[in-house]
Amino acid sequence: MKKIKPARNTLILFLGIILIIFIILVAPSIYKSYKDILNPTPDSDGDGVPDKDDAFPNDPNEHKDSDGDGIGDNADNDDDNDGVLDSFDYIPYDDAKIKIEVLKIRIKDYPLIGDKSDIFLKIFINNNEYRFPEKGYITFDIDKDTYVECNITHDIDDSVGYHQIGIEMYYKTMAGIDKKIDINPKKDENSINISYYIGNKVGYQWPTDKEYECYDGSDDGARERDAMICFRIITVD
Protein backbone atom coordinates (compact mmCIF):
# COMPACT_ATOMS: atom_id res chain seq x y z
CA MET A 1 0.00 0.00 0.00
CA LYS A 2 1.24 3.44 -0.97
CA LYS A 3 1.96 5.93 1.71
CA ILE A 4 0.33 9.36 1.42
CA LYS A 5 2.95 11.95 0.87
CA PRO A 6 3.31 14.81 3.37
CA ALA A 7 2.50 17.38 0.65
CA ARG A 8 -0.77 15.66 -0.03
CA ASN A 9 -1.57 15.64 3.66
CA THR A 10 -0.94 19.34 3.78
CA LEU A 11 -3.26 19.88 0.79
CA ILE A 12 -6.05 17.84 2.37
CA LEU A 13 -5.66 19.74 5.64
CA PHE A 14 -5.73 23.04 3.79
CA LEU A 15 -8.88 22.10 1.90
CA GLY A 16 -10.46 20.91 5.13
CA ILE A 17 -9.76 24.27 6.78
CA ILE A 18 -11.23 26.11 3.76
CA LEU A 19 -14.35 23.93 3.96
CA ILE A 20 -14.78 24.65 7.68
CA ILE A 21 -14.40 28.41 7.12
CA PHE A 22 -16.92 28.24 4.26
CA ILE A 23 -19.44 26.44 6.44
CA ILE A 24 -18.98 28.97 9.27
CA LEU A 25 -19.51 31.90 6.92
CA VAL A 26 -22.36 30.50 4.83
CA ALA A 27 -24.30 28.44 7.38
CA PRO A 28 -26.06 31.43 9.03
CA SER A 29 -27.36 32.65 5.68
CA ILE A 30 -28.53 29.16 4.76
CA TYR A 31 -30.24 28.82 8.12
CA LYS A 32 -31.92 32.20 7.74
CA SER A 33 -33.22 31.36 4.29
CA TYR A 34 -34.38 27.96 5.51
CA LYS A 35 -36.11 29.58 8.49
CA ASP A 36 -37.78 32.18 6.29
CA ILE A 37 -39.13 29.48 4.03
CA LEU A 38 -40.51 27.38 6.87
CA ASN A 39 -41.68 30.39 8.92
CA PRO A 40 -42.52 33.30 6.58
CA THR A 41 -44.19 35.32 9.39
CA PRO A 42 -41.73 35.26 12.29
CA ASP A 43 -42.85 36.34 15.76
CA SER A 44 -39.70 37.14 17.71
CA ASP A 45 -41.36 37.81 21.06
CA GLY A 46 -43.96 35.05 20.79
CA ASP A 47 -46.94 37.31 21.51
CA GLY A 48 -49.00 36.02 18.60
CA VAL A 49 -48.44 39.12 16.45
CA PRO A 50 -46.05 38.71 13.47
CA ASP A 51 -43.00 40.96 13.58
CA LYS A 52 -44.15 42.81 10.47
CA ASP A 53 -47.31 43.91 12.29
CA ASP A 54 -45.70 44.34 15.72
CA ALA A 55 -44.62 47.84 16.77
CA PHE A 56 -42.56 46.17 19.51
CA PRO A 57 -41.32 42.87 17.97
CA ASN A 58 -39.09 42.07 20.96
CA ASP A 59 -41.57 42.95 23.72
CA PRO A 60 -44.19 40.26 24.40
CA ASN A 61 -46.28 42.75 26.42
CA GLU A 62 -46.75 45.26 23.59
CA HIS A 63 -47.55 45.17 19.88
CA LYS A 64 -49.33 48.46 19.11
CA ASP A 65 -48.58 52.17 19.51
CA SER A 66 -51.72 54.01 18.41
CA ASP A 67 -50.35 57.54 18.80
CA GLY A 68 -46.78 56.80 17.71
CA ASP A 69 -45.22 58.22 20.89
CA GLY A 70 -42.93 55.22 21.47
CA ILE A 71 -45.02 53.91 24.39
CA GLY A 72 -47.06 50.75 23.80
CA ASP A 73 -50.82 50.96 24.19
CA ASN A 74 -50.79 48.66 27.24
CA ALA A 75 -48.42 50.95 29.12
CA ASP A 76 -49.70 54.23 27.69
CA ASN A 77 -52.55 55.86 29.66
CA ASP A 78 -53.38 58.22 26.77
CA ASP A 79 -53.29 56.08 23.63
CA ASP A 80 -54.41 58.81 21.21
CA ASN A 81 -52.27 61.54 22.84
CA ASP A 82 -55.22 63.96 22.95
CA GLY A 83 -54.68 64.96 26.57
CA VAL A 84 -57.62 62.88 27.85
CA LEU A 85 -56.68 59.80 29.87
CA ASP A 86 -58.00 56.54 28.44
CA SER A 87 -60.08 55.90 31.56
CA PHE A 88 -62.07 59.08 30.78
CA ASP A 89 -61.90 58.90 26.98
CA TYR A 90 -64.94 57.70 25.01
CA ILE A 91 -62.70 57.20 21.94
CA PRO A 92 -59.38 56.15 23.56
CA TYR A 93 -57.49 55.27 20.37
CA ASP A 94 -58.37 58.33 18.26
CA ASP A 95 -58.61 62.08 18.77
CA ALA A 96 -62.32 62.26 17.94
CA LYS A 97 -64.14 64.87 15.91
CA ILE A 98 -67.77 65.30 14.91
CA LYS A 99 -68.64 65.58 11.24
CA ILE A 100 -71.97 66.85 9.88
CA GLU A 101 -72.74 65.74 6.32
CA VAL A 102 -75.69 67.31 4.49
CA LEU A 103 -76.67 65.25 1.46
CA LYS A 104 -79.87 66.73 0.05
CA ILE A 105 -82.10 69.80 0.36
CA ARG A 106 -85.57 70.49 -1.07
CA ILE A 107 -87.13 73.93 -0.81
CA LYS A 108 -90.94 73.79 -0.60
CA ASP A 109 -93.22 75.98 -2.76
CA TYR A 110 -95.27 77.89 -0.15
CA PRO A 111 -95.47 80.85 -0.05
CA LEU A 112 -94.61 81.35 -3.72
CA ILE A 113 -91.68 83.66 -4.35
CA GLY A 114 -90.69 82.45 -7.79
CA ASP A 115 -89.12 79.24 -9.03
CA LYS A 116 -85.77 79.68 -7.24
CA SER A 117 -84.59 80.52 -3.75
CA ASP A 118 -81.23 81.67 -2.34
CA ILE A 119 -80.42 79.89 0.92
CA PHE A 120 -77.62 79.20 3.39
CA LEU A 121 -77.21 76.98 6.45
CA LYS A 122 -76.00 77.64 9.96
CA ILE A 123 -74.61 74.55 11.67
CA PHE A 124 -73.77 74.50 15.37
CA ILE A 125 -71.56 71.97 17.15
CA ASN A 126 -71.43 72.67 20.89
CA ASN A 127 -72.25 76.36 20.22
CA ASN A 128 -69.50 76.65 17.60
CA GLU A 129 -71.13 78.18 14.54
CA TYR A 130 -70.39 77.26 10.92
CA ARG A 131 -71.95 78.67 7.75
CA PHE A 132 -72.58 76.86 4.48
CA PRO A 133 -71.61 78.26 2.10
CA GLU A 134 -69.02 80.29 3.99
CA LYS A 135 -70.05 83.40 2.04
CA GLY A 136 -73.10 84.28 0.01
CA TYR A 137 -75.94 81.91 -0.88
CA ILE A 138 -76.72 78.80 -2.89
CA THR A 139 -79.52 79.06 -5.42
CA PHE A 140 -82.00 76.18 -5.31
CA ASP A 141 -84.86 75.32 -7.64
CA ILE A 142 -88.15 75.35 -5.77
CA ASP A 143 -89.70 71.95 -5.03
CA LYS A 144 -86.82 69.95 -6.47
CA ASP A 145 -84.35 67.68 -4.68
CA THR A 146 -80.88 69.20 -4.83
CA TYR A 147 -77.80 67.25 -3.77
CA VAL A 148 -75.14 69.24 -1.95
CA GLU A 149 -71.65 68.62 -0.57
CA CYS A 150 -71.79 70.18 2.86
CA ASN A 151 -69.25 68.64 5.27
CA ILE A 152 -68.56 70.36 8.59
CA THR A 153 -65.98 68.84 10.99
CA HIS A 154 -65.25 70.03 14.53
CA ASP A 155 -62.78 68.75 17.14
CA ILE A 156 -64.44 67.76 20.43
CA ASP A 157 -63.65 66.85 24.02
CA ASP A 158 -63.41 63.03 24.02
CA SER A 159 -64.25 62.89 27.72
CA VAL A 160 -67.80 64.11 26.95
CA GLY A 161 -70.20 61.54 25.52
CA TYR A 162 -73.03 63.80 24.34
CA HIS A 163 -72.62 66.88 22.14
CA GLN A 164 -75.21 69.41 21.01
CA ILE A 165 -75.88 69.75 17.29
CA GLY A 166 -78.02 72.47 15.72
CA ILE A 167 -79.02 73.18 12.12
CA GLU A 168 -80.79 76.29 10.83
CA MET A 169 -81.70 77.23 7.26
CA TYR A 170 -82.22 80.76 5.93
CA TYR A 171 -83.48 82.21 2.66
CA LYS A 172 -83.11 85.69 1.26
CA THR A 173 -86.37 87.55 0.84
CA MET A 174 -87.09 89.89 -2.08
CA ALA A 175 -86.21 92.72 0.29
CA GLY A 176 -82.76 91.17 0.81
CA ILE A 177 -83.47 90.06 4.40
CA ASP A 178 -82.34 86.66 5.68
CA LYS A 179 -85.33 84.80 7.09
CA LYS A 180 -85.41 81.38 8.70
CA ILE A 181 -86.98 78.41 6.89
CA ASP A 182 -88.82 75.74 8.86
CA ILE A 183 -86.92 72.42 8.65
CA ASN A 184 -88.38 70.86 11.81
CA PRO A 185 -91.48 68.64 11.42
CA LYS A 186 -92.65 69.56 14.94
CA LYS A 187 -95.05 72.45 15.44
CA ASP A 188 -93.63 75.67 16.86
CA GLU A 189 -90.07 74.57 16.06
CA ASN A 190 -88.22 75.54 12.88
CA SER A 191 -84.64 74.45 13.63
CA ILE A 192 -83.08 71.04 14.26
CA ASN A 193 -81.52 70.33 17.65
CA ILE A 194 -79.96 66.94 18.45
CA SER A 195 -78.02 65.64 21.43
CA TYR A 196 -75.49 63.43 19.66
CA TYR A 197 -73.77 60.52 21.42
CA ILE A 198 -70.29 59.95 19.93
CA GLY A 199 -70.21 56.21 20.63
CA ASN A 200 -66.98 54.41 21.53
CA LYS A 201 -65.22 54.19 18.17
CA VAL A 202 -64.54 56.16 15.03
CA GLY A 203 -67.23 55.53 12.42
CA TYR A 204 -70.17 55.62 14.81
CA GLN A 205 -73.00 57.67 13.33
CA TRP A 206 -76.53 58.97 13.72
CA PRO A 207 -78.92 57.74 12.49
CA THR A 208 -77.81 54.25 13.46
CA ASP A 209 -80.29 52.31 11.33
CA LYS A 210 -79.88 54.03 7.94
CA GLU A 211 -77.43 56.16 6.01
CA TYR A 212 -79.14 59.55 6.38
CA GLU A 213 -82.04 61.14 8.25
CA CYS A 214 -84.44 63.54 6.54
CA TYR A 215 -86.33 66.30 8.35
CA ASP A 216 -89.23 68.04 6.56
CA GLY A 217 -90.65 71.28 7.99
CA SER A 218 -93.86 70.89 6.00
CA ASP A 219 -94.84 67.85 8.08
CA ASP A 220 -96.23 70.14 10.80
CA GLY A 221 -99.02 71.28 8.45
CA ALA A 222 -98.37 74.98 9.05
CA ARG A 223 -98.60 77.35 6.06
CA GLU A 224 -95.11 78.77 6.10
CA ARG A 225 -91.83 78.68 4.26
CA ASP A 226 -90.64 75.04 4.60
CA ALA A 227 -87.79 72.86 3.43
CA MET A 228 -86.56 69.27 3.70
CA ILE A 229 -82.97 68.50 4.64
CA CYS A 230 -81.24 65.10 4.67
CA PHE A 231 -78.10 64.72 6.77
CA ARG A 232 -76.10 62.54 9.13
CA ILE A 233 -73.70 62.99 12.07
CA ILE A 234 -70.50 60.90 12.25
CA THR A 235 -67.68 60.41 14.75
CA VAL A 236 -64.40 60.75 12.84
CA ASP A 237 -60.69 61.13 13.64
Q: What is the pLDDT of residue 88?
A: 61
* β 146-155/213-216 pair status: unpaired
86 DSSP assignment = G
Residue 2 confidence (pLDDT) above 70: no
For residue 213, being part of any structural domain is answered with: yes
Arithmetic mean of pLDDT over the chain: 84
More confident residue, 129 or 84: 129
For residue 133, being part of any structural domain is answered with: yes
In a 3-state reduction of DSSP, which class is residue 20? helix
Q: Which residues contact 233 (CB under 8 A, 6 or more apart)?
A: 98, 99, 100, 101, 165, 194, 196, 205, 206
142 DSSP assignment = B
For residue 12, being part of any structural domain is answered with: no
Q: What is the pLDDT of residue 133?
A: 96
For residue 147, being part of any structural domain is answered with: yes
Residue 40 confidence (pLDDT) above 70: no
Q: What is the pLDDT of residue 27?
A: 60
Q: What is the pLDDT of residues 70-95, one digit of tens each?
A: 887 777 777 677 777 767 677 887 88
Residue 169 confidence (pLDDT) above 70: yes
CATH number reported for the structural domain that contains residue 228 in this entry:
2.60.40.150
Domains of the chain: total: 1
Residue 147 confidence (pLDDT) above 70: yes
- Mean pLDDT within 174-184: 91
For residue 74, being part of any structural domain is answered with: no
For residue 185, being part of any structural domain is answered with: yes
For residue 27, being part of any structural domain is answered with: no
Lowest mean pLDDT among 10-14, 41-45, 95-99, 213-217: 10-14
Count of positions (residues) in the chain: 237
Range of the domain at 219: 97-236
More confident residue, 138 or 222: 138
For residue 19, being part of any structural domain is answered with: no
Residue 13 confidence (pLDDT) above 60: yes
More confident residue, 39 or 4: 39
More confident residue, 77 or 166: 166
More confident residue, 77 or 227: 227
